[in-house]
Structures are given as C-alpha cells and as structure tokens.
Structure 1
Amino acid sequence: MKRIVYTFIVLFIATLTSLRAETTDWIEVHGGAVRLISAGPIEDGQYLAGLEFMLEPGWHTYWRYPGEAGIPPQITLTDTENLKDVEILYPVPERYSDGFSESIVYHDGIVLPIRITPDDGEQNVRLNIDLFFGICKDICVPGDASLTLDLNPATEKDSLAAKLIQRDLANVPQVAATDSLKVESVSLTDEDRLVIETLVEAGATPELFVAGPEGSYIGLAKLASQSGDKVTWHLSTKGLKSGEGDDHLRLVLAIEGSAIEHLEPIQPSWVN
C-alpha cells in the first residue's frame, strides 16, 4: 500500500511539471496497467528506463521465474533502432502462497529498471517491445502490450520518472557477495536434491529465490536449517534444464534491506 501511495503522489506531481522525458501511455489490463518510462538524457553512455507495472489492490505479477505457478514477464524486442544492448533488471521479489502453490511475485506496483546502450550515443534510440505476462488475484489472466519508447540524447531529465526507477533499482540484488551475505556452496545429494549453504547476518530472516535456465520448471528453495549466521536450503533438481548459452542457476539471497545475486554453474549430474 505504501508503494501505491508513493507512486500516486509522484504521478500527481508529474502533472504539474514540464520536465518529462519520453513516457508511453498506460496500457490497461485486467487488474492493472503497464507502461515504459525514461529518466531522461544519456549518461555515461547509457539511458535509464523502466517497465512500470501498476497493480490494483490484491493483484500480483511475477518475477523472472514464477515459482510453482504463474507466467513470468516475456519481453521481446522488435524493430529497434540504434540499439546495442538492453539489460532488464529484476528487484527482489516476495514469496506468495495461495494455499495450493507457492509463487515468486510483485504486489501493488513495480518498475523493472532497464539499462539501454545505443550504438551511437549522439543519435536517437527507438525501443520497441512486445510484452506478455501473468497477473493474478482470485483468478489469473494473461496481460499483453506493445510499447514504443523514443530516447533522445538531448532530452531533459525527468526527475519524477527517475525517482520511480531509482526506487526499485535500489532493490536490485548486487552481484558481489559481502561478509554477511554469501552463497558458500551448492552440492547434490543422492536424492536429486541440491543443498545450498549460505551465510547471512546472525538473527536476520533470509529468503532465497532461484531461477533456472529457460525451460526449467523447478520448485522453490526450502529453508532446511538456520544456526547463527549459517543457513541451509534444499532445492529439488526435478525440472532443471541446461541450455546452450544459459547453464547457470541464478540464486538471489536476500535479507531486509540487502540482497545479492549468485550465478552457480549447473553440473551435468544435476540435470534430469
């Protein structure tokens, strides 16, 4: 709810100012809406944009891997111009149970930050995406949108869009481990189960989210034990796939206010 109030305040203020970079119109879907926003001009060779989901109370959408049920965001680039690279970032999600299955979701509203690198920093960029995603409350429905964002290196900064993007960029897991947040080892038991040993700040309440390569349908990591700063998790390898160019498990280890992302190479013996 705080996220919704914050976003509506920002949107209200946005109507009072002309300092706006390119922003698409909202595309309404059942249970919410989606759009693309931009923070403004190119900085250090990149634009900072965001895919913003506004969800009605009680509705949720999904992380890059949905868990036991759901449809993750499927983002396809189409007819782009002057585009060298696009990096879509995923803030730390939350675990959700409907009583039948567990999923990995975002509630209320979320911005997926996007770092955009042009081929030529002095020329405009056109970003076209086709988006397909799941959105759920008492029922689950698919949502889809086609969105186009034109980015100009000389545009003025949109401080309000930048705040929305930075709000969730701050919750994107860091790549480097810390002394109090670390994935120490991943090993296979003889029961087709991974044992994941992690280090967290003593007394903290940790969460672990795991995504496999495209085509994987693994479950959620289960907390097995916690003693001091040592936390052990179990994860079934059933449904784990390893594809060409994508042969890592992506582990997001989070405690309140901090998160890291760890890429663990998938061993042949893990794949069913």
Structure 2
Amino acid sequence: MKNLFRAVLFAVLAALSWLPPAAQAAMSEWAESEGGRMRLVAISQPRNDAILALLQIEPKPGWKTYWRDPGDAGMPPQLDFTGSINLVLRSVSFPVPEIGNDDGGRFVGYHQPVSLIVEFAKPLPDAPSTINLNAIVGICEKVCLPFMTNFSMPLKPGQPEGEEFMQLQLAQSALPEKPGKDFEIRNLHFSADSKMIEAEITLPGAEAPQVAIVAPPGLRLGKVEIDAGMDKIAHIRIPVISDKAQAERTITMLVKSGGRAIEATLALK
C-alpha cells in the first residue's frame, strides 16, 4: 500500500511539473556541485502549528550522501538555520537509509535523491519569516567532497503551493514508522559495568535486523552486536569506547527488518 501511495504521488508530481512558474514560488534554485545538487522547498502556511520545509539532495549516478551517522566514513549533513527570521528549528527528519558496506567500510546513507524534512516553530504567526540555511553536505564517489552552500527563502503566505505540498507528502511517506507493539525498541540501558549499552528489539518477523545509531557528543561507541533469536526478539549490545558525555544521554536508533523500519530517540538508563 505504501509503494502504491508513492507511485501515485510520483505521477501527480510529474503532472504538476507542467504548471506555470507561480506554483513553484516556495522553491529555491538548485545549487550545483561536482557530485550532485540540492535545493530548499518550503510550505509557507503553518500546518499543525509548524512551518515545514524540505532540503532536497540529489547525488549524481554513482555518488552517495549520508544519514545522521554515516558509518565508517563520510560526513552527515551539517545544517545551520540560526540566521532564520521569525522561525525556530524544532527537528530534522531523515528518510529510511540504506545500511550496508562499500569500499569505505560500513555505509549508512543514500545513493538516490533524498528529502530531509525540517520543522520550524513560528513565534509571531502574523509577522514575515525567512528561512536562512548554511549547509554542508557530504557527497561522495571515490572520495568525499563537502558540498557547501547557503539559501535564503522569504516565506510568502498566499502563494500557490501545489507542487511543494506534494513534495512534502512524498518525503513524509519515506520516513521510518513510529515504534508499535509488533516492532519496537525496549529496555535501552547501560550494562552493570557501564562497558556496554544493551537493548531488546521486538521484530515484525524472523528476519534479523539492521541497526544504525546516533550517540550524543562525548559518547563514543563501537560496532553494534546483534543476537536475533527465534522468538522475534533481538538482543543488541554496543561497546562503550569512551564516555565523556556532559548532557543527558539519549540514543537515536534506526532499525530495519522485514521490509519495514522504525526510528526512536530513547533515554539511556
């Protein structure tokens, strides 16, 4: 059903590409690099008390870009929205990445076009606002080339947003699921000697999971160890290499299994 939904969205987007330029008022020009291109797309009208935008990154064929944690090499996107006017960053959501191995070792990221969903609060609902973004994105082939650019996009309520809205719907359909009873991460904690982080994952089927994690600054972790039993429960262990984290410790964990994916940010106990 999800694939059918995406197919319908692609068809609608193809039709919208023939609309006159006014329908693209909340899209920046493409910024180009040797390995790909990126642009900013925004919805000017608040939805559920939030302003939503997309950073669309398109690697060229044979190139790749990265998730929140890139794996053994590469760099995650570094996005600075602090210069934005009348907008406060709430979150950046990533679509489900590939998890595998390539010439650089373990790889977590994307070989295809990817849209990051950015959510802002708008403190003054009736005042003008502008998205200002300084972006550094890793786009790599044999070597990594940091792709640096900036965008400034005034938001103009009342402008047509047909294509922007459909782009947002398509990006939301590519996000991981929220954990549920049949697929969830449980009991994330330090081991008694604090040398390991441990957790249990309830799986939707018999397929062993793939796991990607993002640790807080100062907490350096080793390779994830997975023990997937026959009861749809996987036990994971992550070696703690060093722990100098100063703030509250949370782990963002993405789990893929059985053609599905979940993501959650959990407090370490």
Q: Which residue of the partner structure matches residue 56 of structure 2?
A: 52
The percentage of counterpart residues that share the same residue type is: 22
Contact conserved, 1:20 with 1:40, CA < 8 A, in 2?
no
The partner residue of 1:260 within 255, 259, 262 is 262
Contact conserved, 1:134 with 1:142, CA < 8 A, in 2?
yes
Name the stretch that deviates more: 139-148 or 99-108. 99-108
Q: In 2, Cα distance between the equivalents of 1:226 and 1:152?
A: 54
Name the stretch that deviates more: 189-198 or 57-66. 189-198
- The answer for unaligned runs of 5 or more in structure 1 is 268-272
1:124 counterpart = 2:106: no
- Cα deviation for residue 25 of structure 1 reads 0.8
Q: In 2, Cα distance between the equivalents of 1:207 and 1:147?
A: 35
Partner secondary structure for residue 162 of structure 1? helix
Partner secondary structure for residue 238 of structure 1? strand
- Pairing 1:1-272 to 2, within 5 Å after superposition: 10=13, 13-17=16-20, 18-157=22-161, 159-175=162-178, 177-187=179-189, 188=191, 192-204=195-207, 206-239=209-242, 241-244=244-247, 246-255=248-257, 258-267=260-269
- Cα deviation for residue 217 of structure 1 reads 4.4
CA RMSD between the two structures? 2.8
Change (3 A) 1:85 1:191: closer
Partner secondary structure for residue 164 of structure 1? helix
Aligned residues: 261
Change (3 A) 1:214 1:25: farther
Change (3 A) 1:218 1:106: farther
Partner secondary structure for residue 160 of structure 1? helix
Q: In 2, Cα distance between the equivalents of 1:45 and 1:53?
A: 26
Q: In 2, Cα distance between the equivalents of 1:171 and 1:220?
A: 26
Letter in 2 for 1:16: L
Q: In 2, Cα distance between the equivalents of 1:216 and 1:263?
A: 15
Q: In 2, Cα distance between the equivalents of 1:21 and 1:204?
A: 45
Partner secondary structure for residue 135 of structure 1? strand
Change (3 A) 1:180 1:138: same
Change (3 A) 1:34 1:217: farther
Relative to the length of structure 2, the TM-score reads 0.84
Partner secondary structure for residue 41 of structure 1? strand
Q: In 2, Cα distance between the equivalents of 1:41 and 1:150?
A: 12
Q: In 2, Cα distance between the equivalents of 1:220 and 1:11?
A: 42
Contact conserved, 1:50 with 1:112, CA < 8 A, in 2?
yes
Q: In 2, Cα distance between the equivalents of 1:212 and 1:235?
A: 11
Partner secondary structure for residue 88 of structure 1? strand
Partner secondary structure for residue 169 of structure 1? helix
- The answer for unaligned runs of 5 or more in structure 2 is none
- Cα deviation for residue 9 of structure 1 reads 8.9
- Cα deviation for residue 239 of structure 1 reads 4.6
Change (3 A) 1:189 1:49: same
